[in-house]
Amino acid sequence: VFAESELLAHVGSDSVCGQVDLYSPYGQGHATVSSWQVGPADLHQGQGKEQEFLHPSSLTYHPKTVQHFLTNKYDSLKGKKDKRAMPQGAGGEVERRAEPGLRPAATSSNCMQKRDQALRVPSSYYYPLFIEKEYNAHAEIHLSESTYGIFAYQEMRSIHAQFFYKHSRFRHSKLSDSVTHIVAENNSYLEVLDWLKGQAVGDSSRFELLDISWFTACMEAGRPVDSEMKYRLMEQCQSPSLNTPALEMPACIATKVSQYSCQRKTTLNNYNKKFTDAFEVMAENYEFKENEIFCLEFLRAASLLKSLPFSVTRMKDIQGLPCVGDQVRDIIEEIIEEGESSRVKEVLNDERYKAFKQFTSVFGVGVKTSEKWYRMGLRTVEEVKADKTLKLSKMQKAGFLYYEDLVSCVSKAEADAVSLIVKNTVCTFLPDALVTITGGFRRGKNIGHDIDFLITNPGPREDDELLHKVIDLWKKQGLLLYCDIIESTFVKEQLPSRKVDAMDNFQKCFAILKLYQPRVDNSTCNTSKKLEMAEVKDWKAIRVDLVITPFEQYAYALLGWTGSRQFGRDLRRYASHERKMILDNHALYDRRKRIFLKAGSEEEIFAHLGLDYVEPWERNA
């Protein structure tokens, strides 16, 4: 149905409803359609504008020249134009005999040759209708007899269409009574309902409102599949109470679970860890392959199952839940039946996955660098260390130097100790400063891999050099092992970023601090033992991120830096799709009212979005 450049459609039945043969440079296919909707605004308004017709005795078609043909009205075929009025209503046929067929330009491409064969269809009645305006409105075209159309897709949604037809009839645009399914991509349930109201549809309950994933499933199956709950667009409602008995939950929960994690409460009590661990392995593997779509599919599924207040023990438990696609469903089913997933096991044993897993564990190493090292034949961290030809960044050098410490978990006690160091240092220069630990530790986790701090000043006094002063003091104290300061690039008038994973523009520092471990009493040890203990390292390298934020943006920064990452993604997606707002770590912008919404707390941000407040420890999505 969709092609990047052009499409030839052959309606073989006597009416528009029925089987359609589709041809494009990328192959052939079939579809069933109920109507074609194309056209400029003047047709939408019902104006009987005279159209241009052409009697093509021999038409040469090539994708590179379609734009020339359309915009220049086939200047190459001068003298063969024939102006006629558009047939109105069920008017009589336009009868003008043409020489048989369409002859496309020769090409060596196999797929183009297939298209050429499709184009060579004998016919004796062809008249093209030229439409040379943008798709700013719709006119419904009812095709009859054998009809051939070529679509040329242009940039900026400016679409030109050319139809060859024997008999056409135009009617005022409206939603056909035969429509049963409506498919939306990146549109919410409420947005589709608003659109239906604009179509003057009385009873919208007769339609199946479906996500684009339903259409994809149909294409994969080669037939229309059932409109299961997972494909349906639904009005979002609140997550079920966690007080409901677990045995009663599966039957009543499915229709109430939101697709957005910001409308669910996800604590650290994960009843489905065997499934979510498997999904996270699959997501990580797709992340290493830079396949964002499948990565997000598994992350959303993991997030959903983490929020369930019961253990999934049978396939019926997930019936009707959102975010559960066929890949996810297959893995759940296999784990239920076999206790493990063969696909996940295959990934865990995959050489590329294992190498990327090791490489990305190094501070400063991402997917791009991992890909480079893997292509060089490197497979382990030890091999990278041994290769003296590699040019490492300053961050990567620090990552390898303190590798053992940085890959080990940071405990809550260690986080509290670092928090005390950070607060004491910051308050040395700015006594009124507010220093808040964020990330997983704010969400109630007992372990992590780094510690994030948000620093702001609620008082009138500000210090633009605060971060530099803190770093300089740590250098003098011998606590600083590494630091990378990124200056603020925030522009006050700039709208929030539309990207759900956008990095903010605050001044920040990625550092590695030396945390001294508590000394043990060695007074009872002999001399040799004391010397041996003296040589043992008495400190641990800990990753610390410091973020400086203006006080008026503190609530938004706190919400963003608290996470989880999936919770933040869904919060921004919800703001955009359901509330017509743009949210990032700096601000919330209402696109309808065209104003920035101020907030002094996270509670106020949730209120702006029309959401119930979710506590930090309930955001472990």
Q: Does 72 reside within a domain?
A: yes
Please count the other Cβ atoms lying within 10 Å of the Cβ belonging to residue 91.
Answer: 12
Is the pLDDT score of 615 beyond 90? Answer: yes
Overall average pLDDT of the 211-232 stretch: 82
Answer yes or no: do 84 and 167 share one domain: yes
* Distances in whole angstroms, Cα of residue 283 to Cα of each of 29, 211, 301, 380, 493: 32, 22, 10, 21, 36
pLDDT tens, position by position, 526-585? 655 555 555 678 999 999 999 999 999 999 999 999 999 999 999 999 999 999 999 999
CATH code for the domain in which residue 370 is found: 1.10.150.20
In contact, 557 and 599? CB cutoff 8 Å: no
Q: Does 106 reside within a domain?
A: yes
Answer yes or no: do 66 and 206 share one domain: no
- pLDDT-based confidence at residue 177 (cuts at 50, 70, 90): confident
Please count the other Cβ atoms lying within 10 Å of the Cβ belonging to residue 116.
Answer: 18
Which residues lie below 8 Å from residue 479, measured CB to CB, with a gap of 6+? 421, 513, 514
Answer yes or no: do 310 and 340 share one domain: yes
pLDDT tens, position by position, 74-86? 333 333 333 333 3
Answer yes or no: do 579 and 488 share one domain: yes
Overall average pLDDT of the 219-236 stretch: 78
CATH code for the domain in which residue 587 is found: 3.30.460.10
Tokens of 224: 């229309």
Which residues lie below 8 Å from residue 384, measured CB to CB, with a gap of 6+? 359, 362, 373, 378, 390, 400
Answer yes or no: do 86 and 187 share one domain: no
Which residues lie below 8 Å from residue 53, measured CB to CB, with a gap of 6+? 81, 82, 83, 84, 94, 127, 128, 129
Answer yes or no: do 278 and 214 share one domain: no
Active-site residue identified among 116, 211, 317, 450: 450
Which residue numbers belong to the known binding site for Mg(2+)? Answer: 450, 452, 545
Active-site residue identified among 452, 504, 570, 584: 452
Q: Does 477 reside within a domain?
A: yes
Answer yes or no: do 58 and 93 share one domain: yes
Q: Does the annotation count 450 as an active-site position?
A: yes
Q: Does 583 reside within a domain?
A: yes
Between 311 and 72, the more confident residue is 311
Which residues lie below 8 Å from residue 497, measured CB to CB, with a gap of 6+? 582, 584
Between 469 and 45, the more confident residue is 469
pLDDT of 255: 55
Which residues lie below 8 Å from residue 55, measured CB to CB, with a gap of 6+? 80, 81, 82, 96, 98, 127
Answer yes or no: do 472 and 562 share one domain: yes
Answer yes or no: do 342 and 362 share one domain: no
Is the pLDDT score of 121 beyond 50? Answer: no
DSSP 45-74: TT----EEEE--SS-EE-GGGHHHHHHTTS
Q: Does 239 reside within a domain?
A: no
pLDDT of 526: 61
Active-site residue identified among 326, 350, 463, 545: 545
Q: Does 240 reside within a domain?
A: no
Answer yes or no: do 276 and 395 share one domain: no
Is the pLDDT score of 41 beyond 80? Answer: no
Instruction: Quickly tell me which residue has 């679509």 as its tokens.
Output: 151
Which residue numbers belong to the known binding site? Answer: 450, 452, 545
CA 328-361-426 angle, 5° bins = 110
Q: Does the annotation count 203 as an active-site position?
A: no
Cis peptide leading into residue 564 (ω within 30°): yes
- SS3 label, residue 163: strand
Answer yes or no: do 388 and 420 share one domain: no
pLDDT of 98: 32
Cα dihedral sign, 544-273-613-235: positive
Q: State how many domains the chain has.
A: 5
* Residue 552 identity (one-letter amino acid): E
Q: Which of 127, 142, 171 is the last residue of a domain?
A: 171
Cα separation, 575 vs 554, whole angstroms: 19
Strand pairing of 103-104 and 60-61?
Answer: parallel
CA 219-220-223 angle, 5° bins = 55
Is the pLDDT score of 306 beyond 60? Answer: yes
Strand pairing of 588-590 and 595-596?
Answer: antiparallel
In contact, 371 and 360? CB cutoff 8 Å: no
- Burial code of 12-49, b = ≥16 C-beta within 10 A, e = fewer? eeeebeeebebbbbeeeeeeeeeebebbbeebbeeeee
pLDDT tens, position by position, 376-433? 999 999 999 999 999 999 999 999 999 999 999 999 999 999 999 999 999 999 999 9
Answer yes or no: do 272 and 154 share one domain: no
Instruction: Quickly tell me which residue has 């799709």 as its tokens.
Output: 577
pLDDT of 477: 97
Q: Does 144 reside within a domain?
A: yes
Q: Does the annotation count 590 as an active-site position?
A: no
Q: Which of 401, 420, 438 is the last residue of a domain?
A: 401
Q: What φ, ψ does residue 190 adopt, rounded to 5°? A: -70, -35
pLDDT tens, position by position, 435-487? 999 999 999 999 999 999 999 999 776 778 999 999 999 999 999 999 999 99
Q: What is the mean pLDDT of the chain?
A: 73
Lowest mean pLDDT among 176-190, 304-318, 382-396: 176-190
* Residue 616 identity (one-letter amino acid): P
Q: Does 1 reside within a domain?
A: no
H/E stretch holding 44 reads helix 41-44
CATH code for the domain in which residue 260 is found: 1.10.150.110
The boundaries of the domain holding residue 366 are 351-401
